Amino acid sequence: MRFATYEHQNRHHVAVVEEDGTLFPLPGVRSLTGLLAEGGGLPGLLDAGSVTPDIPAGPHVSEVRLLPPLQPPTVRDFVTFEEHVEGVRRSVDGSAGVPEQWYAAPTFYFTNPYAVHGPHDDIPVPPGSSMLDFELEVAAVIGREGRDLTPEQARDHIIGYTVFNDWSARDLQSAEMKVGLGPCKGKDTATTLGPYLVTADELEKYRDGDGFLRLGLTASVNGEVVGKDLLSNMSWTFEEMVAYASRGTTVRPGDILGSGTCGNGGCLAELWGVRGRQDPPPLKPGDTVTLTVEGVGSVSNTVVAGPEPVPVPAARRRSRERP
């Protein structure tokens, strides 16, 4: 099944999306995040969606504003494509190759759950940035609570998938990473999710013999394709990522786990690193980025001008007095 959250006539709805784009709003469901939190995992979600034959059809997707399918309580973004690491390291910090530590575990960082945008929303340029970039990813959505899961157990905790665009201010990111802590404002202002939550059972037909989902990925800017890859080029499966994320802690319904950016043009910075120049150029107001994932759908966002940065002083060099 496919689930959408949308706005129509100033009201928000959660609906099952039919093949032809007809929406069947679920009665009494205020949010998909809330529905997932009620428990039941994938069987419970499929049961909730099975009421559609008994309810009247709603509008077509073309007649509504699609919102992010859910508002995740947490967003972990991994980095599982070796090709992406190679290109972006060369572009962002001038380093060659892949750090040996990258191969040891599926590294991730937490990004901002309050900065989630819908599949067709405008995306403001982050304050103070002149090097905006997109990142083509797929996100797994947690449907059942779990802790210290094995990869085999983790499969039952993934309820579905959605397209994930990790918008990145490369100039801010490059400066911040010199501190050695991780992304900050370079990744803080926008994440696109959508267009739907596609339940995990819908994508099982794409699974290969090694447990990876072999989905085609395409990125275009202003209608021109700049990147194409396969999701199966990940170095860890989503189940392995969930197992690692749950180590020593708990994953809960609605949590999002991003695959990390695919290779072969999954973002501009990778291409800059490979080509040694900013080709294509950084995104600017008026540019439209469209990301398509086979079996999941497409998101298409237009960049608009953002606000000027609110001034914050540089660090003060203190005398380090002691009491």
Query: Rounded CA gap, 88 and 82, in Å?
Result: 10
Q: Compute the C-alpha angle 297/270/75, nearest 5°.
A: 50
The answer to whether the CB of 134 falls within 8 A of the CB of 283 is yes
pLDDT of residue 54: 79
Give the pair of three-digit tokens for residue 306: 């953002």
pLDDT digits (tens, 9 = 90+) for 20-62: 999 999 999 999 999 999 988 999 999 999 987 778 899 999 9
Nearest C-alpha neighbor of 65 from the set 3, 6, 9:
6
Taking residues 100-129, what's their average pLDDT? Answer: 97
User: Does position 298 have pLDDT exceeding 90, yes or no?
Assistant: yes
Give CA–CA dist 186/24, Å, rounded: 38
> So what's the pLDDT on residue 108?
97
Averaged pLDDT, 88-110: 88
Domain 75-304 has CATH 3.90.850.10: yes
Asked if residue 95 has pLDDT above 80, the reply is no
The predicted pLDDT at position 89 comes to 83
- Taking residues 201-224, report their average pLDDT: 98
Q: What is the pTM of this model?
A: 0.96
C-alpha 310: how far from its chain's center?
A: 27
Q: Which residues have a Cβ under 8 Å from the Cβ of 57 and sit 6 or more positions away?
A: 22, 23, 24
Every domain of the chain and the residues it spans: 2-67, 75-304
Q: Give the model's pLDDT for residue 147.
A: 98
Given this model, what pLDDT does residue 279 score?
95
**pLDDT above 90: residue 126:** yes
What residues have CB less than 8 Å from 265, skipping those under 6 apart? 219, 226, 227, 228, 229, 271
